[in-house]
A = this chain, B = another copy of it.
Amino acid sequence: MISRDSARHYLGTYWCEQAWLGADRGVMAGVRLSVEGGALTAVETGVGSVPPGATRLAGLTLPGIANAHSHVFHRALRGRTHGDGGTFWTWRDRMYEAAAVLDPDGYEALATAVFAEMALAGYTAVGEFHYLHHGPGGTRYTDPNEMGSRLVAAATRAGLRLTLLDACYLHGGIGRPLAPVQQRFSDGSVNAWAERVGGLAPLAGPTVTVGAAVHSVRAVDPGSIAAVAAWAGEHGAVLHAHVSEQPAENEACVAAHGCTPVELLDRCGAVHDRFTAVHATHLTADDIDRLGRATAGCCFCPTTERDLADGIGPSTALRDAGARLCIGSDSHAVIDPFEEARAIELDERLAALHRGSHRPDQLLDAATRHGYRSLGWAGGELVVGAVADFVTVDTDNVRLAGADDVAAAVIFSAAPADVRHVVVDGRVVVADGRHVAIDVAGALASSITAVWDVA
């Protein structure tokens, strides 16, 4: 039992009954983690009993888990997109309805609740792919980063580490003007995007950083892609983009530019080791080679890719080429890092008709270390100097009882309900399965109801 007072601890010692210390070391029993100033200052193994003053973490402790791709407001759609046959258009109409009505207060309330749901599910960090910048019709707020600052407030209150991936979004399709609802997303030009995003710097802190994003090759022209990539390079920021989620995007890109989205991004200087291609579902062999040679991140969002009928991306080929797979819950049809990670392997099995393309430790790397790198943090590992983010999963429950390979069992069989303790930046966020600061179900219900009462 962790006292709720420990939510305020910033310096402390934890004793893990078992901890996963990476692919090389595997699961070790009796691991002491020492934390100071938000970082791990010691990781000792073979500690047979709980040291005096240490907090006991029963079960399996994992490094922090990164949700590398989130559109937080899509959570308002859950359980509301299956009427009228539940086609893609049902979903997109509802998504645009929600996007049209959110105001700063509503956005912050919803984001706080959803980030807290993520923490309860075992996520310690989130990459929020943010494009809901302006007011309805594109009207600027007095603070042009009003909406981004609300996301920072939400993540801080929910206790989640945040990479604010501010997305450039300029067009309604290749060579097409913005639709009315998309006016909220656009800064009008890439220079205006860069100027606004430059103003986000004061929001950065121990648990907040700013990254750049190209919404997609549909929404950003090549010259602007190059400018966003240059901005990211100058600022040492990570860069994300939606890439080849649907075949139609590839067809439009080839028709307009004579090359695939990956090649276009590469020509614009965007494909490098701080780049993450989100989805990366419908790729050519050349695309895979480019992403691999760059050691780029590839963020798979399998529960969303199932939900939106995107298809199954070439996860094994990407990994073998050198890309670093990570995970995201994207549209939040469900929020479950274990299902997300195992689905990389399970959906590959459905496509390849054989088992065992991704080992459990590779899936754990995707959920932890690779995700942290994609989001620009030195973490997702239980090593000295890493940020002090970790997650403890109860192993004494019906889902995990009887397993001998506990790390594999957690990846392949655990559920969010099994997450007992979550520590971010050395602070306890979830204790005994409950968020220390927020009534999460209540916050979700009220914030989502508020969205649809207006819509």
Contact = CB atoms under 8 A, between A and B. Distances in A.
A422 interface: no
B413 A310 contact: no
A79 B440 contact: no
Interface in A412-442: 412-413, 415-417, 440-442
Oligomeric state, in copies? 2
Interface in A344-400: 346-347, 349-350, 352-356, 359-360, 396-400
Nearest to A358: B86
Contacts of A445: 396, 401-402
A306 interface: yes
A403 interface: yes
6 contacts: A78-B402, A78-B409, A79-B408, A85-B356, A91-B355, A121-B398
A359 B86 contact: yes
A311 interface: yes
Contacts of A400: 79
A447 B405 CA distance: 17
A405 B82 contact: yes
Given A402-B449, A417-B417, A309 B355 contact: yes
Interface residues of A, number: 68
Contact of A350 (B247, B312, B335, B398): B312
A308 B345 CA distance: 11
A101 to B, nearest CB: 15
A249 interface: no
Interface in A272-290: none
B402 A349 contact: no
A187 interface: no
A240 interface: no
Contacts of A352: 309
A353 B417 contact: no
A229 B347 CA distance: 36
Contact of A309 (B78, B353, B452): B353
The 3 closest A-B pairs by CB, nearest first: A79-B403, A79-B409, A402-B448
Contact of A398 (B82, B333, B415, B444): B444
